Amino acid sequence: MMEYKVAIAQQLSTQLKTLRKQAGLTQQQLGEKLGVSQRVIARNEAHPEKVHFERILQMLSALDADLIIRERKSANASNRTPEEESW
């Protein structure tokens, strides 16, 4: 399982496109799964900062991906694995 840090909208744009391509879906196919046009998917991928948050969650769900929020620093920082430290 891979995890990707997203700190800016452009990174989310890249991840949405990557996840879609890894799933073997075109923008048209993803749009059909979500009941929207290819044009909407293209716009959502290009400018995720302008998309309603619910749509981002729908796209992630359709791409079999999750959104995970975690604290950057915690009292247990010394117990983190090397993978967790990379963030």
As a whole number of angstroms, the distance between CA 8 and CA 29 comes to: 26
Q: Judge whether residue 74 has pLDDT over 80.
A: no
pLDDT of residue 85: 56
pLDDT of residue 80: 59
CATH of 1-67, one of 2.40.50.140, 1.10.260.40, 3.20.20.70, 3.40.309.10: 1.10.260.40
As a whole number of angstroms, the distance between CA 12 and CA 60 comes to: 11
Structure tokens that stand for 25 in this block: 């879906």
How many other CB atoms sit within 10 Å of the CB of residue 31?
20
pLDDT in tens, 26-72: 999 999 999 999 999 999 999 999 999 999 999 999 999 999 988 88
- pTM of this structure: 0.77
As a whole number of angstroms, the distance between CA 41 and CA 26 comes to: 10
Q: Judge whether residue 86 has pLDDT over 80.
A: no
Residue ranges per structural domain of the chain: 1-67
